[in-house]
Structure 1
C-alpha cells in the first residue's frame, strides 16, 4: 500500500483538539469486530494516532498503514505528544470510571499498561517502518483510489460531534470510501458517551445519496458502556469517474 500524490486538505480539526489515542490491536478487534479474514485484508487505520494495530498486523504478516496529521511531527516531538495524551486519557478514565466495563480491560491499572505498551510498540514500529505511518488528515487522504480493502476510523467521527457537523462527517466517510470499499466507524456516541441518533440518521441518509450503503452493527465487547454499536459503510458499485 503506497501513498499517492493526492493533495492533502487542511485537517478539519486542529491537532490540539484531538486526543492522540494509544490502543492495541485487541481493542480494535473488539471495537470493529475484526476476524482473521479481516486481518488478512489491506487495512488503513485513520486516524491512526498512537495505536499499535498497524505494528501488530504487520508483525503477523498483514498489510496495514496508519494515517494521522500528527505523523508530520518530528520523532521526539511526536513521542512527547503521545505520552502527554496517554496521561490525559488515563486521567479522563479515572474521572469517569463508572462509564466503562473494567472487566474488559483488566481494571484501570491493566488498561493503563495496555495504552502505554501500545504507544511504545507503535513508536518502535514507526522507527523501522516509517512508510507505514503517513501524515495526512480527513477529508483529503494521501492514498490512491481503492488502495485498501478496509478503513477503520476510531474515536474521531461522532466522538467530536461538538466540532464536526453532518457535512464534515459525510465528507470524511466519502473520502474513506474512495480509498476502500468498506469503512467501519466506532463509536457512535460523543466523547461524553451521549448517543447521537439524529446525527447518525442524517449521515446515513446523505451517504445513501453518495451511493454508499450503511448499517449499524452491535459491538460484542464494548469497553465504554454507552458505545455498543459501530457504523459499517460499503461501496457496492464501482466508483464513479
Structure 2
C-alpha cells in the first residue's frame, strides 16, 4: 500500500517534471535528480520548482518569480545552490556570502548508444591517486572531496603502460566532471575516451549522462559537441563554499 507521504511525493514529482520539461535540457540536473530518486522537493507548482539533491545537499532552483524564494525561509541553509535564473542567484548571494561561483551551461547525451571509442585501459581509481588528481585538476581545491568520490567508486583513470594518463569523475549531484588528461598524454583522444566510458556507464544504469560546461571554456564545449552532447541555451548559476 502506498502511504500518503509517498502519494504526495509522487504528485510533487509529476508537477516538478511538468514545469522543468518546458526546457528539459536547461533543467537536466534537476530532472535527473528526480528520476534517480535523489530529490527532496520543497516546492513544485506552475511557477517553479525548488528541490534538494540529497547526495550533495545542493539546493536547485528554477522559478518564474523571485517571490517564491522569498516565501521559503529555509533556503538559506545549504552548502551550495544551482540557480537557473540570474535574479535567483543574485537573491541567494544577497542572503549569504559565497566564496565561489560558476556560470555554466548544461550538456546532456540524449542518444541511446554511447559514442564509439577504441578500447582503452580505464579502471576505478584508488586512494593512492588522490594527490595526483588534486595536483592536476586546477579547478578543485578540496582533496577531501576527491577522496570521497574515489571511496564511493565515482572516479576512473585511463592508463598507458600502467601509468595514469588522465581521469574523470561523477560529482555527488550526478553530473560528469573532473575530466583531465595529464600534459604529457594530451592529443591522443584520452579525454574523449574517458567521457565516452562514463557516458556508457551512465546509460547502462538507465540514466541520462549530463555535465556542466563553464561559460567560456571552449575546449570543453568542443569536446561535448564532438561527443554528441546537446548543449542548453539557458545558463545555471552555481554558488558554493
Question: Which is richer in helix?
Answer: 1
Alignment TM class, shorter chain as reference = under 0.3
Question: Which is richer in strand?
Answer: 2
Q: Flag the structure with larger Rg.
A: 2
Normalised to the residue count of structure 2, the TM-score between the two structures is 0.24
